[in-house]
Amino acid sequence: MATIKVRQNGSYLVDGDDVTLIDWNGNAYPIAKRPFALCRCGGSTNKPFCDGTHSKVGFQAAEAAVPESRE
């Protein structure tokens, strides 16, 4: 099973051995290690991967999952 974790003020952490990351042409990116992090801030020089730039530029994002309301 694959999971994508939204990191607080950071990247998307993708975990799972069955995940393939492809570009718009359908070509796979080589994945050096798992889990791997995808850039969410737009500042990485190694897109689509996170290179840690988010912490240098002070990227902040406040989205958190909201539990479904219970009736």
The footprint of ligand FES (CB under 6 A) covers 10-11, 39-41, 43-44, 50-54
Q: Which is nearer to ligand FES, 19 or 59 (CB)?
A: 59
Shortest distance, CB of residue 12 to ligand FES, whole angstroms?
8
Cβ count near 32 (within 10 Å): 7
Instruction: Identify whether the C-beta of residue 54 lies closer than 8 Å to the C-beta of residue 40.
Output: yes
End-to-end CA distance of the chain: 30
Shortest distance, CB of residue 61 to ligand FES, whole angstroms?
9
Shortest distance, CB of residue 45 to ligand FES, whole angstroms?
8
